[in-house]
Structure 1
């Protein structure tokens, strides 16, 4: 009788069963294990590949000096003067040699948060400040201006996003706001024909003081970043703002070149040189209350970049 399955195996003597097992192993060995390899699924890899790490934040702080020159017109309590002063003129007369600047960036992949602060205290004398016309409602005549003192702070906040990259060249769009704070004191020669009104008179001088003036401008722009070589980067930025919200109009252009100096304990230090130009046309009030600042500030910048 022929039996199949476990009935046949269970009926075999232990010695005959051992012979069957040995015979089966020999057959498999002779075929190179092809049957077993085809039937047994491949083993899973012992080590799984880790997913790519998400972009992390990096930070950069750049303290600057801005060697400013001024070219434009300012009006303090209705008295307008023309300003034309080079950096050398400002150094001779001012309390500060340069406008002090600080720039901070936080970057994560294509996204960047930015802030910039400028403070300056500028004093100008007769050779660089000339009287112009009086505002409506102000009577009398004034001689040549004696001087102008301006204390000023500018703060920018915004964000940039990289929208295109072509090898070493990256293009960002920029948006944000620029805050201005100013105090201006104008000193003028006094003649007998002047109706002093709201002027403060001391000896032969009359002083017009603006008090604190501030405003906020929206800003939009773009910038280009070009990696010239490892550790060397060229930056070009331009923006426009105001649009009648704060000032009537403003614009800015910056060109800077950064070159790596070295790395210490994970912090990279770079030198920065460049040029910055900033123009604004702002006005408020009428007559003796009028304040106007229609001015271009421009000059070289020099600083130290600290990146971590």
Structure 2
């Protein structure tokens, strides 16, 4: 394989699983038991995103259309850190999150002994922003505040992506690598449905990029989570959430042999634990 070749979706080599990093960004903070409070409320959420990935990527003329499952990603994952936090007082809230993944693999391409390749990738996606809480609205007038309630959190912020990739071709003694980073402005809305004191639902979506000053042409995210609140260190201070998340990024930089393209959709089930304090 030489620069300018295209690796087709029908048989993506396993070494390209490094592209299936465990990315994401703002999944919006899990709701605390008090929808509005005069005191500061904090949530810290470690989580796992069992993602799959598909789309198109170009690194210095080397093009690929990977379609990689979570099992392929897990086989090539050295380690990943996924964490997000939230702070809110009354209607004003702030959020921040970070995901770091380190992946590596080696393999061969072509018949016979083929071409030996070593692939490594490190990726960080971080987000931060603010939201304003609207509501709560009682969904059952007869039950009032003791019944199901709804709040809506419009939010705005940024999503930062850093990617460091390297492909080493041993037979031809050539390396192809890219070190890219970009920042996407994002706007979105989250809805939090408190169905019972224990059960809750989060649904959110955002869009960003817009091709502004080196950002993605377009980025979007959609998340749906079902939560169950219980006591871990105190009374109802933990919310176990499970659901599905999808994140799309369409970023391009440069032309010709120096072109870099990341047009990918990352999606899969999510499991997390929000701890309030």
TM bracket (short chain): 0.7 to 0.9
- Residue correspondence of structure 1 range 76-91 to structure 2 within 5 A: 76-91=59-74
Q: Give the equivalent residue in structure 2 for 1:268.
A: 237
Partners of 1:238 and 1:149 lie apart in 2 by: 31
Match of 2:160 among 176, 179, 192: 179
* Contact 1:93/1:125 (8 A) holds in 2: no
Unaligned runs of at least 5 residues, structure 2: 1-36, 139-148
* Correspondence 1:121 to 2:109: no
Higher relative contact order (CA 8 A, sep 6+): 2
Partners of 2:123 and 2:62 lie apart in 1 by: 19
Bigger helix share: 1
- Residue correspondence of structure 1 range 117-156 to structure 2 within 5 A: 117-123=98-104, 148-156=119-127
Name whichever of 219-228 and 231-240 sits farther off: 231-240
Using the TM superposition, give the Cα deviation of residue 88 of structure 1 relative to its aligned residue in structure 2, in angstroms: 0.9
- Residue correspondence of structure 1 range 209-224 to structure 2 within 5 A: 209-210=177-178, 212-224=179-191
SS in 1 for 2:72: helix
Q: TM-score, normalised by structure 2?
A: 0.74
Q: Give the equivalent residue in structure 1 for 2:217.
A: 248
Q: Give the equivalent residue in structure 2 for 1:29.
A: none
Structure 1 residues 294 and 126 mapped into 2: Cα distance closer, same or farther (>3 Å)?
farther
Note the alpha carbon deviations across 1:17-76, whole angstroms, 9 max, x for none: xxxxxxxxxxxxxxxxxxxxxxxxxxxxxxxxxxxxx81111000011111211011111
SS in 1 for 2:66: strand
Q: Give the equivalent residue in structure 2 for 1:48.
A: none
Q: Give the equivalent residue in structure 2 for 1:161.
A: 132
Match of 2:77 among 82, 91, 94: 94
Q: Give the equivalent residue in structure 2 for 1:190.
A: none
Larger Rg: 1
Unaligned runs of at least 5 residues, structure 1: 1-53, 131-142, 188-200
Partners of 1:60 and 1:204 lie apart in 2 by: 51
Structure 1 residues 297 and 268 mapped into 2: Cα distance closer, same or farther (>3 Å)?
same
SS in 2 for 1:95: strand
* Correspondence 1:302 to 2:271: yes
* Contact 1:105/1:115 (8 A) holds in 2: yes
Using the TM superposition, give the Cα deviation of residue 165 of structure 1 relative to its aligned residue in structure 2, in angstroms: 3.4
Q: TM-score, normalised by structure 1?
A: 0.67
Match of 1:72 among 52, 55, 60: 55
* Contact 1:280/1:295 (8 A) holds in 2: yes
Using the TM superposition, give the Cα deviation of residue 202 of structure 1 relative to its aligned residue in structure 2, in angstroms: 2.3
Note the alpha carbon deviations across 1:261-299, whole angstroms, 9 max, x for none: 314256812322122111101111112221111111111
* Contact 1:242/1:249 (8 A) holds in 2: yes
Match of 2:42 among 30, 53, 59: 59
